[in-house]
Amino acid sequence: MMISRTGKVLPYNCNEQKSVQVERMFDSIAGTYDKLNHTLSFCIDKRWRKKGIAFLKPFSPERILDIATGTGDLAVAMQKELKPKGGIVGVDLSEGMMEVGRRKAAAAGYASCISFEQQDCLSLTYADNTFDAVTSAFGVRNFDRIEEGLAEMYRVLKPGGHLMILELSSPRLFPVKQLYALYSQTFIPYIGRLLSGEKAAYHYLPASVKVVPQGEDMAELLRWQGFVNVGIRTFTGGICSLYTGEKLNE
């Protein structure tokens, strides 16, 4: 893990763009990512995804874009729960992660409902006003430039469409703050390196949580991009945050 002169947390070095390093990092841990992710979160991450999906359910989105989809956990869970008529498109930098996602979707019987495409989340190829909902689970902090990623989410969302972002956050209350700091700085890198063989990734991932905009700072970024009815909820003592918003009807 490296920290650039601008304070940006990078997986490997200061000589390459963050997006290039993130792609390489996730390709390298794709095979063990799901097992490690669920183990390190004690499977609580599944409950967090359910909370995010519950936000979207009353709106019955017909076509969904899942940004930084990774291995497709959120996409598969949304297809099962929401059954969008227009299907779900999952996009990510890492083909290795999405290949796991494709197998997962096929095993669940959703190969025809969920598609995966390699895309740069800062410059999506989709037309304006394309999707009824745009989602992202634990991927925003990996954007090279978060403001540009949020702007793209707004651009491809239909007027009246909904945004749902789940992201890890830094708890502030005693003793969760102290326990989480110890857990993320020692246990996660140790177990991650032990089971995946990738030292840098599991130092970078918890470190990236510290620098991502959180709480009202993230809400302000969403409002600045044009989102309305912005909401914030936190779970598990503040370890996870749910950010929601809506694109104003034009």
- Domain CATH number, residue 39: 3.40.50.150
Q: Considering its fold, how many domains does the chain have in total?
A: 1
State yes or no: pLDDT of 26 exceeds 70. yes
State residue 46's pLDDT score: 94
> Is 199 domain-assigned?
no
CA distance 248 to 250: 6
State residue 119's pLDDT score: 96
Candidates 64, 119, 124; CA nearest to 95 is 119
> Is 240 domain-assigned?
yes
pLDDT band at 42 (very low <50, low <70, confident <90, very high): confident
State residue 246's pLDDT score: 98
> Is residue 137 helix, strand or coil?
strand
Q: Using the 8-state DSSP alphabet, how is residue 64 labeled? A: E
CA distance 144 to 139: 11
Token representation of residue 114: 């969920």
**The total number of residues written for the chain in this structure:** 250
> Is 50 domain-assigned?
yes
Token representation of residue 89: 């498109």
pTM over 0.75: yes
Average pLDDT, the chain: 92
**Residue 60 is part of which domain span?**
16-167+213-247
> Is 3 domain-assigned?
no
> Is 93 domain-assigned?
yes
> Is 36 domain-assigned?
yes
> Is 92 domain-assigned?
yes
pLDDT digits (tens, 9 = 90+) for 70-101: 999 999 999 999 999 999 999 999 999 999 99
State residue 181's pLDDT score: 84
> Is 217 domain-assigned?
yes
Candidates 137, 149, 162; CA nearest to 75 is 137
